[in-house]
Amino acid sequence: MAPQQISPLWQPLLDDIVEWAKPNPIDTPDFKLGSIQGRAGDDISISIPFAIWAALSRSNPDMLVIHSLPQLIAKPVFDKREQWDTNPSKFGLSTFEFSALLQVLKQNTAPPEESLQPAGWQNYVLPTQVLIILDIDNDVSVELALVVAAALTWCCGTTGDAGRAAVSQAAPARQASTRLLTLSSQPLHPLLRSFLKVFAEDIRHFTLPPLRVVRYNNVDSSKSAMTALIETVQRLPTGASHTVICFNPDVDVPEGWEEIEEEYLYYWLWHADGHHRRILFLSQEQPKFGRLTGSDYMHLVIGNTRRRAIFDRRTTQAVQADLLLSNSELARQREWVDFFDIDESSIYVYQDEPARTAIPYQPANAASSGMAAFFVGLVDFPHWHPGALLWAFDAVGQTDPDARIEVERQLHQRQLLTFNWPLRLVRLAQGLGAATRLLHCLLPPVDYNERLAHFMASPSMTDRVTLVKAQVAAALTFSLDKLVDDFEPTLGQVMAAGSRGLTSHICQLGTIWMLVALVVKALHIVDTTDDFVDMRPSSVTLVDGSLDIMVNPGAHQVRQLTLSLGDTYVRCNVPMAPMSWVEGDAIDQDELDNLYRDLLMAFGHQIAICRLTENGIVQMIDLASRQPLHLTTFAWSMIDWHYISASSDNGVFIGVYTSAHRESASSLFCIEDWTWIPGRIVEEWIAWIRIRSLRELRGVYPVHANEGEI
């Protein structure tokens, strides 16, 4: 299958982009910003970057085109490209998820101060002519902030105009022509637009032309929507075939229409066989199934609300609530129109019955946590000039005062601002709090797990607590599966490994502590060869009569990650204990309580309530969602359940998990780790919630949920 053909209507747009992307004829470094706004849809994310590359390759084959998109929409794009007969890499179009692009840009950008340079950063090595296309249809997030910051740092590696002067020189001077182009169905967020203007006085705006005639109809209810639909059908030519997609299963099927059941979906869509009027009931999560044929007219019936779980701040419980859809969510539903090879379509947007009492969608509040994360994410990636931050923040305040107030509130809630305006941002940019700098320096190494980064960035009472946190981050980032697969330890060897390290005395009270023991073991077998037989080495050979041991690469990876996290603490002026352990040494109770509290605060939305039955079976449910949980057998066998249950007065005990997944909608949620939290620590946490709020505990708005949450 070849890449989709580009509509002739797009050719003028592509010509404008090619002209805009041309390098400076004087052969001097130049940087330009642009924005493409148009319809949402996976096909746009697939077709537009390819079309831009194809057009540029004819006029300027030396320019590298990089397309980057968030994980949320990356899978369908990659799946579609896998269907192409030609390898996408042969097209000269490089496609990355945000996290992957960040690593590429980091490796090609050198901060000005050597003390701030993370390990592995290099000078500029990419081509001198680069166009970066950022798909930014998702919410503003820390991940997007870091990618934009890295891209601007890399693109503006030279100084010269007012925009670049606002940022300290972040890369060596070079002769380069760089272009940054955003692709979105919505206008640029005020915060993002204001920040981009710091670097370029002019942002060139491009608009995707409409490819089809779409008529929008706003009606009062789903019943009115179907009435309007029937009236529209009656006005159209007799005998024409019609297909309706509806996201409300309670809508009555019009008389004489054929309802398509899911198991016969493909047959009806591609083999009309005289069935001229048909209706599909789909969920909003239904994947797109390609171009639909066999119909003259297509109609879309969508509501303006959604029902989802949120946390009630008054009761601190998870409840089901009706929320009004945001513009981007409506756009995602409307994009179904683009999956029909039909020239004319109708969309009916009706007011759901729950819309009368639905929670209003407030753009400033809904994006507030993302905006706050975006803003503070720029603080230390790399060393931005305080003036640039103040300029951007003031610009946001002028365009959207409510947004600035919300950002300030979020920053205060996350304990990132503890001083008064106007010096707050200047001091923040200068690194007033080590925890603030640490949090955002740690996000890339821990795979953007903000909960884990918060756990590490929270204050530690001693260097030994800091050391254990680095080991915890290394273990959780590397994951239990990889540790077990790479080391292939037996249960007895895992228990033996648990006798090492600062947390050896609690290794059977939680999977995290056992993982830390494996990390300590990995550090030990890399540094020495005394106990290499406990873990599987890759090979053992004789070299010049001596024993040469090649330790498994997994151990090296754990060691490298742990040392990297330790280096991050040092760069952020946080004292770090030596990355070693002393035989017989153990963390004391106060330090352990510090770890328990920080762990519970970071993963407070991933709590499992457990009960040990008389038969020795552990029953688990998720506190927030009340969903039953299944702990893997290997993880279950590493925990001393009898000791934990004996420590509980009522036979119920609480612990945290860091990730959950399930194979299908009908299967139980499976967790691979669980760590017990003593009852007295839980009581402190409950008291903290009562005087504050669960929203403050999360630190982010509910729509920005952690990937491991249920």
Please give the pLDDT value at position 383: 40
Amino acid at 552: N
Specify whether the CB–CB gap between 33 and 199 falls below 8 A.
yes
**Residue 384 pLDDT:** 42
CA-to-CA distance for 694 and 686, rounded, in angstroms?
Answer: 10
Could you give the percent of the chain with pLDDT greater than 70?
42
CB atoms within 10 A of CB 231: 9
The answer to whether residues 482 and 659 touch, using CB atoms and an 8 Å cutoff, is: no
Other Cβ atoms within 10 Å of 625 Cβ, number? 15
pLDDT of 324 strictly over 60 = yes
pLDDT top residue among 140 and 551:
140
* Rg (the chain; Cα; Å): 28
- pLDDT of 635 over the 70 cut: yes
When mean pLDDT is compared across 189-193, 213-217, 375-379, 478-482, the lowest value belongs to 375-379
Please give the pLDDT value at position 535: 40
Q: What is the total residue count of the chain?
A: 710
Query: What values do phi and psi take at 299, rounded to 5?
Result: -130, 145
Q: What is residue 542's three-state secondary structure? A: strand
More confident residue, 466 or 491: 466
Tokens 């980064």 map to which residue?
A: 453
Q: Which of 164-168, 671-675, 687-691 has the lowest mean pLDDT?
A: 164-168
Residues 27 and 175 sit within 8 Å (Cβ to Cβ): yes
Place of tokens 């951007």: 392
Q: Tell me, what's the pLDDT at 390?
A: 47
User: Is residue 433 pLDDT above 70, yes or no?
Assistant: no
User: What is the biggest distance separating any 2 CA atoms in the chain, rounded to whole angstroms?
Assistant: 92
pLDDT score for 39? 65
Q: Mutual orientation of helices 142-155 and 190-197 as an angle, nearest 10°?
A: 20
**pLDDT given for residue 633 in this prediction:** 79
Question: Which of residues 415 and 525 earns the better pLDDT score?
Answer: 525
CB of 505 closer than 8 Å to CB of 586: yes
Quote the pLDDT of residue 308: 56
Tell the residue number behind the tokens 């968030």, with chain if given. 70
pTM (2 decimals)? 0.46
CA-closest candidate to residue 282, choices 246, 313, 243: 246
The type of residue at 431 is G
3-state helix, strand, coil in the chain (%, to 5): 45, 20, 40
Residue 161 clears pLDDT 60, i.e. is over it: no
Q: Residue 149's pLDDT is what?
A: 66
Q: Identify which of 55-69, 261-275, 337-351 has the greatest average pLDDT.
A: 55-69
Query: What average pLDDT is seen over the chain?
Result: 65
Span 543-550, average pLDDT: 40
Band of residue 649 on the pLDDT scale cut at 50, 70, 90: confident
Alpha-carbon span 654 to 637, nearest angstrom:
17
d(CA 74, CA 98): 9
Query: Under a CB-based contact definition with an 8 Å cutoff, are residues 219 and 350 in contact?
Result: yes
> Which amino acid makes up residue 561?
L
Element (H, E) at 98: helix 98-106
Residues 664-677 have a mean pLDDT of 83
Span of 159-163, 387-391, 485-489 with lowest mean pLDDT: 159-163
Q: Residue 142 carries which side chain, given as an amino acid letter?
A: V
DSSP-derived pairing of the beta strands 344-350 and 297-303 = parallel
Q: Determine the pLDDT at residue 410.
A: 53
7-25 pLDDT tens trace: 677 788 888 999 998 887 6
